[in-house]
Structure 1
């Protein structure tokens, strides 16, 4: 910055080096119109002219110019910083009010995810815009003409635009994703065969983290079909297999009882909207009857509830004598299915 200010000050004040007095190696006291930079390049006595320049340089004027330029720059940065902070303070309440009116019938967790996503994207976009405006505003303060640069960037952007069509599609698709509220931060989604938690989203790309901890960056132009596993509510949905000689009505009663007990458990009650229950006989396989178990939970809670439901069902089936068939292989390699546990031999 100091170099730019010094150059600007020298150019604006047209400093000239004094030519030497006839018959003397010392410079004259008057300025004769020879630029000091030209004198350095044309003559061997550059040190003399540099000393003369330093002796005649108006450091007070330079300091005043530097303080004035630095003050304006600091003022622009300060105003931008305060503006961004005010914008951040205003955005969240405004978005919160608008989203709550639009999603009044939705669960609270969905409303919070929507508010978080919109606030995050809009704030980051605004910061980028403010940074560009501040840069363009400060360039003239340091002697850089921003007009030709902006025009050049426009032409360069036009040329780059032909090769950046995917970027344009990324942004357009990102706008539709946000406007249509297809998914938000902290949703679990499946995009192009990749499933994971939405850790971040902006206008250009979505960031997913899968169960292995792997982070996937997905450009919005590559998104075709998106499946949101946690929008509004989530569902407990799995099949239980029981032996063919089981009493189906008893199986249904045990499943319903276990689901009701789970929904009444204080540790899980807040997460369950509809207790898991036996829906129907879902099919017959070669070795078992399949019973469909269905229920509803808050978003993201279905896996926890399903795991606990399976654990309790196994204990309840063991207590009630309901058998879950399982395959095994004999020492000869033949596949068989255990339907009833055999008593241990004495």
Structure 2
């Protein structure tokens, strides 16, 4: 009798429901993270860092979805404990749902696109991407800070947070997927010894790969590729290399710094625009 009266008390039931929802809210994230950790393994060319990004992204999205479901069920249970008649509300909500549904096509598209992003592993939290499309067709670039089923949050170099609806991104450019490339164009004077230029560029690239600060982040050292074009006042040579995701900008900057010093030491001139004046 005591237990029956205890559980028949609406206030008691509401406290239990809310308390249980709070506990599940905190526990479900750990449960989902554990499941994802066991389910996701690196495959093919995917490295451990890429696998970890995917795990974090899936854990965050699934946890947020599960927590939303928990609170929706809890709210329904609270109404049930209060013996609130939901039939009249459901009737009105049905009509309202039809009206809202007519204007919710874009939202549905966003959710479907979000599901595709996760299933196809198009990008993860921590990637640097450009999302293009929508009404303007212009691209929005930045570091992926958060992915949900409806939106993606990108932080650009200026610190601005851009929020992009998933359904608006028709073209996705991921600059940090599996590996990144360093591609450099260097202009040298026309009287330069190209063989010497190639030797110096390759030497700088190999030295960087042996440097403890960079050796774990350089997959293939930056090396001379070809004479790319004859410009107005210089010969343009191209160098390429592969590095760990998102390391291309730092490594390219350090390579340029070292190359400038090496060229100066070997007497190789980096050409500047020149104007020839003829006097009559």
Rounded to whole Å, the distance in 2 between the matches of 1:125 and 1:231 is 26
Rounded to whole Å, the distance in 2 between the matches of 1:165 and 1:134 is 28
Q: Deviation of residue 155 (structure 1)?
A: 2.9
Q: Deviation of residue 143 (structure 1)?
A: 4.3
Deviations 1:265-289 (A, max 9, x none): 1111111111111111111111111
Q: Deviation of residue 105 (structure 1)?
A: 4.1
Q: CA RMSD in A?
A: 2.0
Q: Please name the residue that 1:79 is paired with.
A: 20
Q: Please name the residue that 1:265 is paired with.
A: 211
Report matched runs for 1:121-132 at 5 Å: 121-132=61-72
Deviations 1:170-204 (A, max 9, x none): 11111111111111111000112221111111111
Q: Quick one: structure 1 residues 336 and 296, their matched pair in 2 at CA, closer, same or farther if it must change by over 3 Å?
A: farther
Q: Please name the residue that 1:322 is paired with.
A: 268
* Structure 1 runs (4+) greater than 4 angstroms displaced: 64-67
Q: Deviation of residue 80 (structure 1)?
A: 2.3
Query: Where do 5+ consecutive residues of structure 1 fail to align?
Result: 1-63, 329-334, 338-346
- What TM-score do you get using the length of structure 1 for normalisation? 0.73
Rounded to whole Å, the distance in 2 between the matches of 1:136 and 1:282 is 67
Q: Please name the residue that 2:97 is paired with.
A: 157
Rounded to whole Å, the distance in 1 between the matches of 2:24 and 2:92 is 29
1:166 aligns with 2:112: no
1:243 aligns with 2:189: yes
Rounded to whole Å, the distance in 2 between the matches of 1:78 and 1:282 is 68
Q: Secondary structure at the match of 2:181?
A: strand
Q: Please name the residue that 2:78 is paired with.
A: 138
Q: Secondary structure at the match of 2:240?
A: strand
Rounded to whole Å, the distance in 2 between the matches of 1:150 and 1:185 is 38
Rounded to whole Å, the distance in 1 between the matches of 2:64 and 2:168 is 22
Q: Deviation of residue 295 (structure 1)?
A: 0.6
Q: Secondary structure at the match of 1:131?
A: helix
Query: Where do 5+ consecutive residues of structure 2 fail to align?
Result: 133-138
Rounded to whole Å, the distance in 2 between the matches of 1:287 and 1:217 is 44
Matched-pair contact (CA < 8 Å) for 1:206–1:217: yes
Matched-pair contact (CA < 8 Å) for 1:170–1:204: yes
Matched-pair contact (CA < 8 Å) for 2:179–2:245: yes
Q: Secondary structure at the match of 2:273?
A: strand
Q: Deviation of residue 299 (structure 1)?
A: 0.6
Matched-pair contact (CA < 8 Å) for 1:258–1:309: yes
Residues paired across the two proteins, number:
267
Q: Please name the residue that 1:183 is paired with.
A: 123
Rounded to whole Å, the distance in 2 between the matches of 1:104 and 1:93 is 23
Q: Please name the residue that 1:42 is paired with.
A: none
Where relative contact order (Cα < 8 A, 6+ residues apart) is larger, the structure is 2
Q: Secondary structure at the match of 1:269?
A: coil
Q: Secondary structure at the match of 1:167?
A: helix
